[in-house]
Structure 1
Amino acid sequence: MKQATRLMALAALMIGASTAAGCGTSAPVDATGLRRVVGTDLIGARGATAADQRKIDRTAVGLCAGGVWSKDECERHGEGAR
């Protein structure tokens, strides 16, 4: 259940980020930068298997490295693995 909650939180974050990226005075050209930070590992992951969890973790790494999540948020993601 905890993995499903994480997946839902990541999905909500991605939707919010893509919505915020679309707000402004000029139209976005594409989502290449966001795709580079977030990656595509999360596609199809349901949090039901170890492989799904690795996909979620790889996505979290991109969000942490890209500065989308704060240091505290990144550490909280890792707490479930301990």
Structure 2
Amino acid sequence: MKLLARLMMPLSIMTAAGMLTGCGTSAPADASGLRRVVGVDLIGARGATDADQRKIDRTVVRLCAGGVWRVDECGRHGEALR
């Protein structure tokens, strides 16, 4: 019985270590999916001109359509423009 316990101990430690390694987290490989949803319209936009506001609005539309923002959050952006 003691021999079996001694043999099983390293095996159970290795099994637990292997399971914990598989449950780790890693950084995303890239942000291409987010870039496709958000776009690049905000780059350089300061909100000072009508063209800047259109860039902001296009980005908000993409965030709403992509499901990044909730419906009530999207509605607040529309209310702020009135």
After TM superposition, the score normalised by the length of structure 1 is: 0.67
Answering whether residue 79 of structure 2 is matched by residue 79 of structure 1, we say yes
Q: C-alpha separation between the residues in 2 aligned to 1:71 and 1:28? A: 27
Structure 1 stretches of 4+ moved >3 Å:
none
The answer to which structure, 1 or 2, has the higher relative contact order (CA under 8 A, 6+ apart) is 1
Q: Map residues 1-82 of structure 1 onto 2, 5 A cutoff.
A: 25-82=25-82
Structure 2 distance, partners of 1:28, 1:80, is: 34
| TM-score, length-scaled by structure 2 | 0.67
Task: Could you tell me which runs of 5 or more consecutive residues in structure 2 were left unpaired when the two chains were aligned.
Answer: 1-23
CA RMSD of aligned residues (A): 1.2
Letter of the structure 2 residue corresponding to residue 65 of structure 1: A
SS at the partner of 2:37?
helix
Bigger Cα displacement from structure 2, 25-34 vs 36-45 = 25-34
> Which structure's CA Rg is the greater one?
2
- Count matched residues: 59
